[in-house]
Amino acid sequence: MRVVEEANRAPIRGLKPELKRVTIHGHEIRYRIAGSGPVVLMLHGMASNSETWAHVAPELAREYTVVAPDLLGHGDTAKPVTEYSLGAQANMLRDLLAVLGYERATFIGHSFGGGVAMQLAYQYPDRCERLVLVGSGGLGQEVNALLRMLTLPGAEYVFPLFCSRGLRDTGNRIADWVTRRGLRPSPVATEIWRGYSSLADAEGRSAFFRTLRGVIDPEGQAVSAWDRFYLTSEVPTLIVWGNEDTIIPVAHAHAAHRAIPNSRLHLFHETGHYPHCEMPETFVDVLTEFIGTSKPACHTESDWHELLTNHQPSTDGYDPGVRAE
């Protein structure tokens, strides 16, 4: 494993995260890093990349070491012909933390990244200090109808008609023209366009459909964390959601809050699927307050063995719309 710096200086507190790369198992992983102090690992959603945290990372870097990777198959990270399951992503992140020299971190995941964060916490509990779920997947069956439609057979062959390099480049030129005239797209529009743009290339589309079909099918979300909530009983957990989320309904946040022991819930009003982009200052305040007032989990092998052997999943607050993995 080797780390290659994109710049010649180390991360500086309060500045824009630097883009770096590391080669792990022969695949190049890109990540952004800034700050010092306790480590926060920030995981983006499907068809997105680490830039999604640009509105909050510089401020968080004043108090924490912010590490925001492009997940496997996303952004500038490698897109090999391989599996893109939650478990595979968790393994890559475990190795990334190891090569960077970080033993433990607070895991923060948005949407698909929330599912990855939970999987990482379950697979490697000794590395998880806290868990923050932002509009997270894996907490219920319901999901936006478009995502369900894209899992249908043959969707990957039709999709290029609506998302090609030519259309992407035309859109970029229009966006540049508008920006030069003093108008800026909203944070939500920027996130949507980022996702669209990432699918204009065949390599990105292939990775996207592999990722999508690993967690969603025509009926909705196909994986669930409900049967493992009891494993987070000693992990401080914050659930963050926009109450107008049209991708994953806010009902999932309420149900998970009832089911996850000692969890906290913060709802952003008049906010959709991207609270960290739509209300970044409040997001930073909520996250900083949570980290500052919660004691990091410290699981040992014996702790984990005791949980797995002597405790059973609780069905209290169980949402019948959630399917087991």
Residues annotated catalytic, as ranges: 111, 245, 273
- Give the distance from CA 64 to its chain's centroid: 18
Q: Which amino acid is at 293?
A: T
Tokens linked to 96: 């990334």
- 244 phi/psi in degrees, rounded to 5: -115, 30
Residue 139 is given by DSSP the state S
Burial of 182 (0-12, 13-18, 19+ CB in 10 A): exposed
- Give the distance from CA 77 to its chain's centroid: 15
Angle at 145 between CA 144 and CA 148, to 5 degrees: 100
Q: Which amino acid is at 214?
A: G
Rounded CA-CA distance 61/84 in Å is 29
Tokens linked to 66: 């912010």
160: number of Cβ within 10 Å: 15
3-state helix, strand, coil in the chain (%, to 5): 40, 20, 40
Q: Which amino acid is at 56?
A: V
Quick check: 31 and 69 in contact, CB under 8 A?
yes
Rounded CA-CA distance 302/310 in Å is 12
